[in-house]
Structure 1
Amino acid sequence: MKVILGRLAVLSVFVAGLWVIQVVNWVTGYNLNIAFGLIPRHVSGLDGVVGMPVLHGSFGHLMANTPPLLVMGVLLAATATRALLAVNAVVVGLGGVLVWLLGTPAIHIGASGLVFGWFGFLVTRGLVDRSPAALVAALFVGLLYGSLIWGVLPGQPGVSWEAHLFGAIAGAVAAFIVRTQVHAPRMRDVERL
């Protein structure tokens, strides 16, 4: 339980940090987006692989990403044992590099690539791991956020469908390559409760 609470604290700090960055971005006239957004096939935009998930175009943009980040983040914290860093590295790294290589010419920003990556991971991991907890998490995420799948299609102006698509693909890849089997707490963890 202590480990899960620690992960939830990290998630809370991350989401709070997104809001602090958004305020700074807004105060500076969204210059952070220009400086650190992902710009496909431009060396100067390569740092956006890491910068893209923490930058947003408006408070509404961040507001739309916050609930799914919290819901899926809680599910990851509760079910992805000892692998959160690796899962996030694959989602952000692979998803971002694919956007950088194949994305449309624009400044790509927003945590929605991370949201779609977590979605792809949780759903795919449920099918790969087949533990009861992973299957319940996959079912819950699928029912709650299944309509996200439409966001991987082009068509909405100003929306990086590429970040959505490649985030979801990276999450699915992470489910196959990162060992995250859900297991019962170890006896020493139970004894401490």
Structure 2
Amino acid sequence: MQFVQTKKGATLEAIIYPLLIIIIMWSIFLVDRYYSMDLYKYGVKPSTVEGLKGILFMPLIHGQKDFSHIINNSIPIFIFLSALIYFYREIAFYVVLFIWIGGGFLLWYMAANTQSYHIGMSGVIYGLFGFLFTSGMLRRYLPLQAISLFVAFLYGSMIWGVFPTEPGISWEGHLLGLAVGVIVAIAFRKKGPKAPKYRYEIEEELGIEPPDLEGEWLERRKRWEEQVKKQQENKREKEQNQSNLNNIQVTYHYTKKEDEENNTDKSKAD
């Protein structure tokens, strides 16, 4: 099974798969409730051979006495699984698989054998919670960090579920599921979505010498300064030439009109 992108995109996948899980959960619950099949025996019974089958079936089985158990698990599993598939499509199946199997096995192996069965999707929910929060912090990618903060804000109070505060609550399943989710997030930190790289980072990986932007800027600045200096010199030269023209003294040599007339009359008399 692999999550692949459809023509309608990741949004469709992020809705279909969580709904499918919830439909299976509710179908099993209703059959167990109205036909009294005692399916709790398919849960995890720690450190017993018969309890091994619960590693696979435990998340799908819920208490038949009332609806509160399955309702409380339906909403968060839809939200967390949708977020996982939408943002981590490439690794979503493997993340769920490791949390599902890993959390169940650790519960079977490490929890105290009190002759009781552990059932419910809450272990997987805690695992997804741990994965989404931890993975977003590790990847340093803004959309995934936003999901981490959203998960913490919406279901941060879940952390109290890892302590033995209420009887009949599988706090071991919560704690171990959360631990597996964190471990899976660390193990898959280099797989799946990544922050987009800048051009210089890609060039460094390809061994491309980046352009000397500082050198180019200094060269352009030098040419600009030379051009400004030349313009200033031309301006000063022009002003100097104009000043020299203004300082030239012109001497006019001419004959007065009276003298010119006398010379003319004298010529006639001769």
Give the TM-score of the pair, scaled to structure 1. Answer: 0.89
Percent identity over paired residues: 33
Q: Find the residue that maps to 2:156 and give its secondary structure.
A: helix
Look up the equivalent residue of 2:9 and give its one-letter code. Answer: K
Tell me, yes or no, if the aligned pair for 1:80 and 1:182 is still in contact at 8 Å: no
Q: In structure 2, which of residues 144, 154, 157 is the aligned counterpart of residue 134 of structure 1?
A: 144
Deviation string 1:30-83 (CA, Å, 9 cap, x unpaired) is: 51111x111100011101011110000132100111111111122112211211
Instruction: Give, as a single letter, the amino acid of the residue that structure 1 aligns with 2:71.
Output: M
Q: Distance in 2 between matches of 1:128 and 1:174?
A: 12
Distance in 2 (alpha carbons) for counterparts of 1:66 and 1:135:
24
Change (3 A) 1:30 1:154: farther
Match of 2:60 among 45, 54, 58: 54
Question: Please, what TM-score do these two structures have when normalized by structure 2?
Answer: 0.65
What stretches of structure 1 move > 6 A for 4+ residues in a row? Answer: none
Unmatched 5+ residue regions in structure 2? 1-7, 197-270
Corresponding residue for residue 88 of structure 2 = 80
Q: Does 1:24 align with 2:31?
A: yes
Identify which of 158, 165, 173 aligns with 1:163: 173
Distance 1:162 1:4, change over 3 A: same
User: Which residue is 1:117 aligned to?
Assistant: 127
Matches of 2:56 and 2:87 in 1, distance apart?
Answer: 24
CA distance in 1, matches of 2:103, 2:194: 24
Change in Cα spacing, 1:7 to 1:71, as seen in structure 2 (3 Å) is closer
Q: Are the counterparts in 2 of residues 134 and 182 from structure 1 also a CA contact under 8 Å? A: no
The residue type paired with residue 103 of structure 1 is A
Contact 2:136 2:145 in 1 (8 A): yes
Q: What amino acid is aligned across from residue 77 of structure 1 in structure 2?
A: I
**What is the correspondence of 1:84-95 to structure 2 with a 5 Å cutoff?**
84-95=92-103
- Any idea what the Cα deviations from partners look like across 1:63-120, whole Å, max 9, x if unmatched? 1111111111221122112111100111111111110011132200000001101100
Partner secondary structure for residue 47 of structure 1: helix
Residue number in structure 2 paired with 1:190: none
Q: CA RMSD in A?
A: 1.5
Where in structure 2 are the equivalents of 1:91-102 lying within 5 Å?
Answer: 91-102=99-110
Distance 1:40 1:11, change over 3 A: same
Q: Which has the larger radius of gyration?
A: 2
Structure 2 equivalent of residue 64 of structure 1: 72
The corresponding residue for 1:153 is: 163
- 1:91–1:170 contact (8 Å) kept in structure 2: yes
CA drift of 1:183 comes to: 6.2
Partner of 1:13: 20
Shift of 1:7: 3.5
Highest RCO, 1 vs 2 (Cα 8 Å, sep ≥ 6) = 1
Aligned positions of 1:172-187 closer than 5 A: 172-178=182-188, 179-182=191-194
Structure 1: gaps (5+ residues): 185-193
Say which SS state the counterpart of residue 120 (structure 2) adopts: coil
The count of aligned residue pairs is 183
